[in-house]
Structure 1
Amino acid sequence: MALIRTVLVVSLLVASGALPTGTAAATTQQSEAYAGTHIEFETTSEAIANYSVNGNTVFESMKVQSQSGAESRGDVQAGVGLSAVTSITGAALSLESQTEASATVTAESGATMEAHDNSRGILVVRSDGESQYVTVNVSGSAETESESDQRVVVTNENGAEGTFIVVGDGEVTINDQGNVSANLESNGKLVFRSYSDGRNEDDEQKEQLISEGKAAAEVYVMQKSEQGGELAADVVQYGEGTTVEVTQQTEGTVQMTADRSQQEGKIIITSVSEQAISSVEDLQVTVDGEAAAEASSYSDLEGAIGSDTSKFLVRQQSSAQASADVLVAVNQFSTREITMSEDGSDSEDSDGSGSDSTDSSDEEMTATDEDRGTTATNGPGFGPVVALSALVAVAVLALARRRSSKH
């Protein structure tokens, strides 16, 4: 049974009681809370608070404010470096909408914050046309490391890690208080990805693809709850003018439609649970029905962009959250249909035997129809052959009688 995802808005003190797992919790202040399978958080009047992924609190609070608003309030002095931006008055927030696997928080500054209920707990802050400042307070025991002006890594004392990544125009850094600050231009995004079991080289490669704008979207096909059950899909959009929709997720097959307003090829990162794709040993990937070639490395995968052939790269996950990551480099874009199947069968096959299953059933039906026709002809009824024979016999008999009467 899927965990219940609800929103609770309270302005009165509510006594804590027994609440079902996955429900929103009440607080003494006016607030909104979200609890899903993987993520939990609250929104206070000006911040996202206690953002938790897979049971680990990955940061204590996040605030966003337009750059013009922060400067007019005196929170940020003109000409100072980003590291000096340690505290801002956050814009008022509202938990605006929810889907099966995500929640959207809107800010009065014009920014949106999309929280995705997947194993990475991805959070995307979009400036949406107006330059923004973002400040994030990490826990006091966490360590921060700046890898570039596009990436900052936070490591918690339990070993869980998280990365803040800037996509588009902007910058992220460690501020003077040891927390995280970012400025985003009008088209910029700040992406947070969490790693409960630690971060590896493959994770770093994916982060680079996202930061450089080469990854247009990230798709998760997973179970709706930790107790199992039906599959759900979550799509994180990174690229402008890009939409990805999962049109089918069944055991052994995942199918999605990707559309971009620009022709330039991009990479789609897909994480599939073992309930969706149990084995990637014989994984087949097609783009618009044409087989994609398997890439040997990330650089080989990137080389497919703008080439004549789409490619895919498979990376096994050691985590129990997913069986594998499948990265598909679509060489050129318009509207493309991408299909992944663990044995090369098409999306209509349910028994894993490929298209031969449909052909054989057609042959069986044809053979059965022919058998029925033969039975009808040779049986006790008057089939077309029997009727014709009877007419011929009557004509011969009539002719014989005429000749006999003449003689």
Structure 2
Amino acid sequence: MNWKALVVAVTLVVSAVGTPVAAAATTNAASGQSSAQAQSGTYVSFETADSAVVDYTVNGKTVVDRLSVQSTSEAKSQTGGELGLSGDAGFSGAGLSLASSFDASTSATIQSESGAELVAHDNDRGIVVVKANGESHVARFNSSDGSEAEQASEKRAVITSDDGATATVIVVGDGNVTVSDGGNVTAMAEENSRVVYRQYEGERNDSEKQQERMIANGTAVAEVYVQAAGDAASDADADDSDDSDSTPTATDSPTEDSSEEAKERSADVVRYSEDTTVEVTENAAGTFNATVERSQSEGKVVIMSVSEAAFENAEDAEVYVDGEAAAEASSYSEVQSATNDGETSKYLVRSSSSAQASTDVVVGINHFSAREVSMQSGGDGGGAISGGQPGFGAGVAVIALVGAALLARRQA
């Protein structure tokens, strides 16, 4: 027998078999590396790694270092039904993939293999909205080292980090939140519900706590963050990539202000209600216009967080609904009363605990379906009807011009 020939033959066979195995291992490793995608916006940065969003950072602070989502049925099978209590072990989120990024929008959309959708918003509060999309889901928020979590109500939990930053997890619709022995927060959302994450630079003030309650009970259906590049280190483009599939959206409109700051002004729109849409039609230094539309007639609240760098004298803002001046309220209860088919819409101005200087303008719209909402700077001598055109869109501009003509005739 020719032993040398046999050895050579065996060597060739082993080499031939081993090569594709090694190649497959290399391919799998490369695939595993590419599954982790980093996102960095003006305010928010994070990574998607296989089955979780990790190191979620807002304004340089991390309160939650891991966010994972799984269908309720699968999560219960993994943990033996002990969701959110002492049985944190065993929970494994579904696979995630990045559908859209901060490169083209003020929001990044992440799809879960379980059918849920996560939308991270690049705004000062780093809001994340988890949409259940027709099947009951569980969202798990793992607190960062040194953070502590406590339950504020059946639908809200608060996480506080050792550097003073805080975050709130809110269930909108049917569901609840629980805090585990390890300090992690589990939110269970039914088929048509959503889970909301909001982060703050420090302790939440009373106004922000009230806003959280309104989000949880469905009174507040959307937020708009009016921002400028001057608020943070980088700019943010507010073109919306999610409006077509009814996810929280971000929209930006060009302005006539020629300053560099105005060119980078944006409006990030966060939607908490499936049947609510917000379209921003003007976003200038002293004028902000948007169309708010709902399929149901009952009144609701829209919250506008306004940066001083993006909007002049927001604390003295004047608010118009369909070209008519809304009444300024003195409390949240007045704003909520206006939504119960009140005689007029009302708004409330409150300071924000934002990392940047900003003001919250909370608007209670008395009824729907489509309403044109305008906010004008109060620092221009009260000339809200002339020049800035209160209201959004061409239709409201005509109403405003007619109103101005009538006013001039009466004064003549």
Decide whether aligned partners of structure 1 residues 97 and 29 sit closer, same or farther in structure 2, where only a CA change above 3 A counts: closer
> Does residue 337 of structure 1 match 2:372?
yes
Q: CA contact under 8 A between 1:277 and 1:323: conserved in structure 2?
A: no
Residue correspondence of structure 1 range 2-401 to structure 2 within 5 A: 28=33, 30-71=35-76, 74-78=77-81, 80=82, 82-86=84-88, 87-98=90-101, 99-224=104-229, 226=232, 229=261, 230-280=264-314, 282-305=316-339, 306-317=341-352, 319=354, 321-343=356-378, 344-346=382-384, 349=387
More helix by share: 2
The alignment of Structure 1 onto Structure 2 pairs a total of residues equal to 334
Q: CA contact under 8 A between 1:278 and 1:323: conserved in structure 2?
A: no
User: What does the per-residue CA deviation read over 1:91-122, in whole Å, with 9 as the maximum and x for residues that have no partner?
Assistant: 11011013421100010101000100000000
Cα distance in structure 1, aligned partners of 2:123 and 2:343: 33
Secondary structure in 2 aligned to 1:205?
helix
Q: 1:13 deviation in Å?
A: 8.9
Q: Partner of 2:9 in structure 1?
A: none
Decide whether aligned partners of structure 1 residues 38 and 209 sit closer, same or farther in structure 2, where only a CA change above 3 A counts: same
Q: 1:177 deviation in Å?
A: 2.4
Cα distance in structure 2, aligned partners of 1:146 and 1:49: 23
Question: Which moved further from structure 2: 341-350 or 37-46?
Answer: 341-350
Decide whether aligned partners of structure 1 residues 348 and 199 sit closer, same or farther in structure 2, where only a CA change above 3 A counts: same
Letter in 2 for 1:176: D
Question: Which moved further from structure 2: 97-106 or 161-170?
Answer: 97-106
Cα distance in structure 2, aligned partners of 1:224 and 1:233: 11
Q: 1:349 deviation in Å?
A: 2.1
Q: CA contact under 8 A between 1:171 and 1:184: conserved in structure 2?
A: yes
Letter in 1 for 2:197: F
Q: CA contact under 8 A between 2:201 and 2:354: conserved in structure 1?
A: no
Cα distance in structure 1, aligned partners of 2:95 and 2:354: 37
Cα distance in structure 2, aligned partners of 1:273 and 1:280: 8
Q: 1:318 deviation in Å?
A: 5.3
Q: Partner of 1:389 in structure 2?
A: none
Q: CA contact under 8 A between 1:142 and 1:156: conserved in structure 2?
A: yes
Decide whether aligned partners of structure 1 residues 51 and 172 sit closer, same or farther in structure 2, where only a CA change above 3 A counts: same
Decide whether aligned partners of structure 1 residues 319 and 241 sit closer, same or farther in structure 2, where only a CA change above 3 A counts: closer
Find the structure with the greater CA-based Rg: 1
Q: 1:29 deviation in Å?
A: 5.9
Q: CA contact under 8 A between 1:33 and 1:43: conserved in structure 2?
A: yes
Decide whether aligned partners of structure 1 residues 308 and 189 sit closer, same or farther in structure 2, where only a CA change above 3 A counts: same
Decide whether aligned partners of structure 1 residues 244 and 11 sit closer, same or farther in structure 2, where only a CA change above 3 A counts: farther
User: What does the per-residue CA deviation read over 1:362-400, in whole Å, with 9 as the maximum and x for residues that have no partner?
Assistant: xxxxxxxxxxxxxxxxxxxxxxxxxxxxxxxxxxxxxxx
Cα distance in structure 2, aligned partners of 1:300 and 1:32: 45
Secondary structure in 2 aligned to 1:213?
coil
Under a length normalisation based on structure 1, what TM-score does the superposition of the two structures give?
A: 0.76
Q: 1:281 deviation in Å?
A: 5.2
Letter in 1 for 2:216: S
Which one has more relative contact order, counting CA pairs under 8 Å at least 6 apart?
2
Letter in 2 for 1:338: V
Under a length normalisation based on structure 2, what TM-score does the superposition of the two structures give?
A: 0.75
Decide whether aligned partners of structure 1 residues 224 and 347 sit closer, same or farther in structure 2, where only a CA change above 3 A counts: farther
Considering only aligned residues, what root-mean-square deviation do their CA atoms show, in Å? Answer: 2.7
Q: 1:163 deviation in Å?
A: 0.6
Q: 1:133 deviation in Å?
A: 1.4
Letter in 1 for 2:94: A
Q: CA contact under 8 A between 1:253 and 1:347: conserved in structure 2?
A: no
